[in-house]
Homo-oligomer: A and B are copies of this chain.
Amino acid sequence: MSQSRKDTKIYVEIVNELRLMIERKNLKPGDKLPSERELSERLNVGRSSVREALRALELLGLIETRRGEGTYIRDYGGHQLVQLLSTFILQDENAKRDIIETKYLIELDCLWLNLHKSSDGQLQEFKSWAETAHYTDDEFFLKVVRLTENHLFLRMWIILKDYYNSLQLDQIATSKEEYVQLIDMLITRNESLIRNAYKSLRKLSKN
């Protein structure tokens, strides 16, 4: 630990320290962090302060702890975080509308990105997968979002998807033909066609 422990709470400093450590050592998901006792010694803080920092990160889903083994960096998915936050803050009705609206628009953005950035080969491959495989709506659009290679959209979409599913909306059935057609529209590289195809797939009238 570096400076005055007056201004900032120690556990917050530890969180930052961990972040730096991960960056410096270029630690990836699955890698092991130092033990609580070692961190406590290295940073000259009490073990309980270290634990407060670790527990917070754990609740965020950023790390994973296994008794007897150690603490590991986790592949961030956002699952438990979303669940926690949704029960805490997702009461008002506007939030619900925001989630639906935002998820749809981001999906549309990703389609648009693919329309501009994906190669014909990628789209053809995607199409043959869509024609043969079994998949849910989430799985289909996960592929769409992944294809954009935009990690930001990926993170946001995953979170939104979890929120969306926690809303328990009525599921609208989508046929395989509709998914395939959506990809066909991508291949045409026509912006308004893809927009309409998506709207129709989502059974949207104007919004």
Identify the A interface with B (CB < 8 A).
11-12, 15, 19, 22-23, 48, 51-53, 55-60, 62, 76, 78, 84-85, 87-92, 94-95, 97-99, 101-102, 105-106, 108-109, 112-113, 116, 149-153, 155-156, 160, 192, 206-207
Closest B residue, CB atoms, query A51: B52
Q: Are B76 and A62 in contact (CB under 8 A)?
A: no
Which B residues touch A88, using CB under 8 A? 19, 22, 62, 76
Which B residues touch A160, using CB under 8 A? 152
Closest B residue, CB atoms, query A11: B55
How far, in angstroms, from A155 to B92 measured CA to CA in the complex?
A: 14
Q: Are A207 and B62 in contact (CB under 8 A)?
A: no
Number of copies: 2
Which B residues touch A192, using CB under 8 A? 192
Instruction: Enumerate the 7 nearest inter-chain pairs by beta-carbon distance, A residue then B residue, closest first.
Output: A56-B59, A52-B55, A56-B56, A98-B152, A105-B109, A102-B152, A76-B89
Q: Are A151 and B55 in contact (CB under 8 A)?
A: no
Q: Are B94 and A151 in contact (CB under 8 A)?
A: yes
Q: Among B57, B116, B149, B207, point to the contact of A94 (Cβ < 8 A).
A: B149
Closest B residue, CB atoms, query A88: B62
Q: Could you pull out 12 A-B pairs where Cβ atoms are within 8 angstroms? A: A22-B88, A48-B48, A52-B52, A55-B55, A59-B59, A60-B60, A76-B88, A97-B150, A98-B150, A102-B156, A106-B109, A116-B207
How far, in angstroms, from A56 to B88 measured CA to CA in the complex?
A: 14
Q: Are B150 and A101 in contact (CB under 8 A)?
A: yes
Q: Are B113 and A105 in contact (CB under 8 A)?
A: yes
Closest B residue, CB atoms, query A153: B102
